[in-house]
Amino acid sequence: MSVSTPEFSPAAAPLAEKLLEPALEIIARYPEGRGRSALLPLLHLVQTEEGFVSPNGVAFCAEILGINKAQVGAVATFYTMYKRKPTGDYLVSVCTNTLCNVMGGQEVYDQLAEHLGVGHDETTADGKITLEHAECLAACDYAPVMTVNYDFAVDNTTPEAAVGLVEQLRAGERPMPSRGARICSLKEMQVQLAGFADERDGAVADGPAGAPTLRGVTLAQEHGIAVANFNLDTPITKTKPAREDAGDGKVSTAAKKAAGAVKTAAATVAGVAEKAAEKATEKVAETRKSRPRKTAAAKQATDNAGKVTDTGDVKDPEVRTAEQRNPTMGTPDRTGDATATEPVPTNPAEAAGVAQNQTAGDGKPAGDTERGESIVGESTAGTGDATTATENPGWNNAQRGNEETK
């Protein structure tokens, strides 16, 4: 597949100098006209260089695919594995979903947050560790679970084990996890996610399944439970086996009679339909004879009825629909430069609003930020039961004021 190299804007040019060759290799994996499908691995490729999807990275992806930056941003903001701000060398994710939470996941997260001095999606001052709450990490049999750059690091995690691991990472060590691949940096992991082989020693591991995963099989073996007539060496058939003749028993005879009745009924219906079609054809012919002769244009229209008209449009239907909805989608947005700036208020009212309001939150649980802690503290103040508020603040339902403190 041949891909034309665009002339990059000042915002995209720095990344193009470093990533153009692997980017073209990624795009070449997809069929002609389907280059937009390469956007997901291209975003991972950007993160191999910068550690997050920067504005320059958005511009690079948009220009090399021939789409606009809004379309790239819509994808980059949808998936949590694409980071929109600088991230640490090691992304530490702690599962706090139902099972892991019951097994102590929240305690693990709280201990790490206190030890590192950061909250959800925040990075330590040395740029080493980014901490995040995570939903299910698909290892419920090892709950609570913690991963480092999406690889399992500590199974059946305890607060002490989690703190010990992050301290090793901050000291430059890369401890071997209990199972799976060797811990790598976030940028190294993005190489794999972009679809390239990681040449590091131990980057890909092929260890056996752990005891919790095999617990069901172990119990079945201990109690002698097995599927009747099951043979492990039996090959798996790829086609549906032919049905053997059931013989001339009552069931087989009844089935044959039913099949014969169905065939007879079908033949009768077909005969009636054929006669009806002949009558309809004769009636149409008589009607045409009684009508005046058609003009040349009308005859041509009749002759062309039912034929496919070749308009010469060979575009993919999805591309055509997208262009109709957004006529300028094929023109990359080349505005901007390598420096990201905050939007400037356009009127005094907007300026006053920006000055009085902090940046919107990012879904952090209450208490993960100073603002959240102040809101919770003010809402529980004056309830008359300080002990209850301290032990279980979530159930106080304390009324807040008419306006939150900004």
- Please tell me which residue, 290 or 165, carries the higher pLDDT value: 165
Domains along the sequence of the chain with CATH? 13-76 (1.10.10), 90-186 (3.40.30.10)
Per-residue pLDDT tens digits for 280-306: 777 777 766 665 555 565 565 556 555
- AA letter at 84: R
Q: Are 137 and 147 in contact (CB under 8 A)?
A: yes
Give, in order, the Cα–Cα distances in Å from 8 to each of 24, 42, 232, 336: 14, 16, 58, 12
- Name the DSSP letter for residue 177: P
Q: How far, in Å, CA of 179 to CA of 209, rounded?
A: 8
Closest CA to 93 of 112, 65, 73, 78: 112
Number of H helices, E strands in the chain: 15, 5
Mean pLDDT over the full length of the chain: 77
**What number is the average pLDDT over the span 179-200?**
85
Give the angle subtended at the CA of 195 by the CAs of 36 and 88, to the nearest 5°.
100
Q: Are 398 and 389 in contact (CB under 8 A)?
A: yes
Per-residue pLDDT tens digits for 300-334: 555 655 565 565 666 677 777 777 777 776 676 66
Q: What is the pLDDT of residue 389?
A: 43
For residue 249, give every residue at least 6 positions away whose Cβ sits within 8 Å of its Cβ, in sequence order, or none: none
Q: How far, in Å, CA of 134 to CA of 57, rounded?
A: 25
* Residue 395 confidence (pLDDT) above 50: no
* Residue 374 confidence (pLDDT) above 90: no
* Residue 398 confidence (pLDDT) above 50: no
Output the pTM of the full model.
0.54
**What number is the average pLDDT over the span 199-222?**
76
Per-residue pLDDT tens digits for 85-138: 889 999 999 999 999 999 999 999 999 999 999 999 999 999 999 999 898 888
Q: Are 94 and 109 in contact (CB under 8 A)?
A: yes
Q: How far, in Å, CA of 148 to CA of 82, rounded?
A: 15
Q: Let me know if 266 is exposed, middle or buried by CB neighbors in 10 A (0-12, 13-18, 19+).
A: exposed
